[in-house]
Amino acid sequence: MGERLAMISLHTSPLDQPGTGDAGGMNVYVIELAKRLGAKGIDVDVFTRATSSTLPQVVEAAERVLVRHIAAGPFEGLTKGELPGQLCTFAREVLRAEALQPLGHYDAVHSHYWLSGQVGALARDRWNVPLVHSMHTMAKVKNEALAAGDTPEPLSRVIGEEQVVEAADLLVANTDTEARQLVDLYGASPDAVEVIHPGVDLTVFAPRGRAEARRRLGLPEDAVVLMFAGRIQPLKAPDVLLRAVDVMLQQDPSLRHRLVVPVVGGPSGSGLQHPTALADLAADLGISDVVRFVPPVTQADLAVWASAATAVAVPSYNESFGLVAVEAQATGTPVVAAAVGGLTTVVRDGISGLLVDTHEPRDWAAALRRLVDDPELADRLGRGAVAHAQEFSWEHTAERTLAAYERAAGRMRAEMAL
């Protein structure tokens, strides 16, 4: 790998606040990886679509890391589903930005999500550099595990993803499960798939003590805090936690006076069609008094919330990785997660948390009750969570990714030699 990398994150900026709109774990992934690559001497340019006329064209996000805002379509009001219509304009502007530089400016392209992959494929051929692509989520996988009432991903996305898989010199999968899905569902060559776990900032997400965290947040020290963090949309299934809490209160009404259920995040995706749906559900279930809606917070504040929790619930219908689960475990809080996708890698059942095979509220209530009723189990899982989270560091991710760029370059050279 040379000295310069073009990173493409078309539909969401690494500068956006995770937890609302289209900003989530991928935003954290892009900025944290870019920062670590910058620290290793790589100049990283992150190309993203401008969503405001007030944004500077170029923002220095960290040492050696520039975020370049590309004007493509209206700044506001464009949904992710409408972005394919702006691919040509975005790609033209990316190519134009590179054309202003000396010949051979970039040594590789790393695209994130299928929309970026379409642009990355064009840049690869134009610049004659390897394309490494990270899917983050896949339409075929999402459509196999749709939440009730959620909208399936369109065929245009499926076809677009298949094209990116074919064009990329190397595909980075977050987990072994995602690697198998790329091979089985998209026909990727096993040799073209590299499994590299995302990381977690272990300086931000670290054990700080539950009592201190609760004091900072104004939570009672003896509270039972069952937390959800993420974008509020059917795929993430925060309603499963609320319905489980309802079951728990029916089973043990005495829990009500000390139960706090923080929902940290904002509406996103199909959840934007009914932005008050979760609050309405809490009211319908009669649990509004225990549910606390918290707008998206910074990584540092999220670490405090996670530290304060008795358990963090991740009931998603699908996750390619599940970054919030690693972040919570790194603070010493056990995670109760759905046994789907990358969560089966991120959470070690019975060691760092509990995996639930269904999305039935009674099953979730039973799993959460295990931690509430057995403090010794919760403490043991909390210790296991900290130990397990140490396996995921951004420094390790960056080292593996740099090696992947080299491997992609080798694959490209071999292909051209044929």
* Residue 18, marked binder: yes
Q: From residue 5, how far is each of 43, 120, 149, 160 by CA, in Å?
A: 6, 12, 41, 23
- Check residue 145 and give its pLDDT: 79
* Residue 22, marked binder: yes
Mean pLDDT throughout 80-101? 92
* Residue 26, marked binder: yes
The percent of residues in the chain predicted with pLDDT above 70, rounded, is: 96
* Residue 333, marked binder: yes
* Residue 106, marked binder: no
Tens digit of pLDDT for each residue in 207-236?
Answer: 999 999 999 999 999 999 999 999 898 889
- Check residue 20 and give its pLDDT: 54
Tens digit of pLDDT for each residue in 248-264?
Answer: 999 999 999 999 999 99
Domains observed in the chain:
4-199+394-417 (3.40.50.2000), 210-390 (3.40.50.2000)
pLDDT higher than threshold 80 for residue 17: no
- Check residue 19 and give its pLDDT: 54
pLDDT higher than threshold 60 for residue 47: yes
* Residue 11, marked binder: yes
Average pLDDT of the chain to the nearest whole number: 93
* Residue 215, marked binder: no
Instruction: Give the HSE-up count for residue 147: Cα atoms under 13 Å, Cβ half-sphere.
Output: 21
The confidence band for 271, taking pLDDT boundaries of 50, 70 and 90, is: very low
* Residue 136, marked binder: no
- Please state at what angle helix 361-373 crosses helix 375-389, rounded to 10 degrees: 100
* Residue 17, marked binder: yes
- Check residue 278 and give its pLDDT: 94
- Check residue 105 and give its pLDDT: 96
* Residue 221, marked binder: no
- pTM across the whole model: 0.85
- Check residue 345 and give its pLDDT: 92
* Residue 231, marked binder: yes
CB 164 within 8 A of CB 121: yes
